[in-house]
Amino acid sequence: MEPLRGDESSVEPDETTIATRGREVDGVAVETVLGELPRPTVAWSADGQRVAAGGSVATITADGADRFDHVRRAGEALFAGRTVESDLPRAARPRLFGGFAFHEGDKDGGQSPWDGFPDAQFVLPAVQVVRTDDGSTWVVVTATGPSAATEAEARLDEWVERVEALEDEPPEDGPGIERRTFTPDDAGWRRQVEAAVERIRRGTLRKVVLAGALTVDLRDELSVPSVYERLSETYPDCFRFLVAPEGGGQFFGATPERLISRDGRTVRTEALAGSTGRGDTPEEDEWLASELQDNDKDRHEHDLVVEAIKTQLSPYATSISTGDRTVRRLATVQHLQTPVTAELAEDDHVLSLVEALHPTPAVGGLPPDEALETIKETEAFDRGWYASPVGWFDAEGDGTFAVAIRSAVATERRATLFAGNGIVGDSDPDREWDEVQLKYRPVLDALE
């Protein structure tokens, strides 16, 4: 099936008749299947569910500022022709997986690690292996067209046999790192932070998130399925994702930050801002967490994010509530975190909420327009899909999207990692540099 452009207003019914068939199989690690799947390949692990999917029976792409609305409309048209077996668990029913670029239409000239990644791309997988939150594993096949049901049933038999023949194996060692290149280097970073602090002190800019890039040349060829499995073992409570389009690199990561989850009219998100390292002992860990809770700079940065999320959701919600601010502990870093829950006034699609929230002040800044302009003027690289929404949505308009931080885009022998920090009026460049290095660690540890 030809890719669907996001700005298409309609598609022919016989082209978008969707049949999905699935079968429960003996448990196999979802990560084991990744290496067997064709491009485009996606993987998603969160909220007790794991998905590895490959091939595409439909692809939606969009460019420009209207990319969220374009994808939503094309997805609704695509799902209008679906037929699904009623005994499939909800997590195994058709979903569109993908993500968006941080900025629209702002690609570097020449060769870029983001070649093959448009401003938005979502795929309806041809085959997926799903581990549901109750521990069952399903092989699911989707086909489109007049003979969709017959084709899906035939391919289901083939894929069940292939999956059941696989044997779980421990992940391979990382490829190793030969050379590292920072963009900017530490001196350039200091100049950027000092310039941002000066802009904050003299103007209306309240906060801006500046990011850096770390490009590593790898000693051996990269096995993204193995890296993905190591991230899953080390960061089981994070959102793990992989997006590998045809003709491009592979974007993957383990992010602690949920952008939005919609289930009917209930919406969940959280503010995640303010960070410190982990201690070598439980006592040092507690001391660092206490210092983070009491630090005026970190609390100020965090409160800005909480208030901005509430403001962004308020046009859609009948009620918004926040939980207690706590410390979220990960393997290499600790964050201030506040959960936010809202009840929608209408049946707004999850992509409408994604558009309203992106970018949060945790990855952009405040006021949003001035912060984004500062990022474009300051950063020396293309963010691509870094810090952007990645996730899935379904025919009901439900879905979950995470913020693609703690991430990298990679080819066979090179990976570019990204990390950023929120800059406010009293930010210290050296401390901010040290915190950014901590945020590279999840992917670096998986590569080394």
Q: Could you list the active site residues?
A: 207, 257
AA letter at 146 = P
Q: Which helix (H) or strand (E) holds 342?
A: strand 333-344
Whether the bond into 146 is cis, omega within 30 of 0: no
Return the bridge partners of 208, or none. 365, 423
- Rounded-to-10 torsion of CA 177, 183, 184, 189: -70
Closest CA to 141 of 165, 130, 125: 125
- Rounded-to-10 torsion of CA 266, 270, 63, 46: -80
What does the buried/exposed string (b/e) look like for 414-437 if buried means 16 or more CB atoms within 10 Å of the residue's CB?
bbbbbbbbbbbeebebeebbebbb
**Strand stretches in 237-292, DSSP E:** 239-244, 250-255, 258-263, 266-277
Contact 327, 291 (CB under 8 A): no
Return the bridge partners of 24, or none. 138
Task: Count H helices and E strands in the chain, helices first.
Answer: 10, 24
Tokens of 225: 């399925």
Return the bridge partners of 260, or none. 401
Q: Which helix (H) or strand (E) holds 298?
A: helix 296-313
| Residue whose pair of structure tokens reads 């945020």 in the numeric block | 439
| Residue whose pair of structure tokens reads 């003709």 in the numeric block | 247
Tokens of 309: 């999320």
> Residue 158: left (phi > 0), alpha (psi -120 to 50), or beta?
alpha
CA separation for the pair 21, 6 (Å, rounded): 26
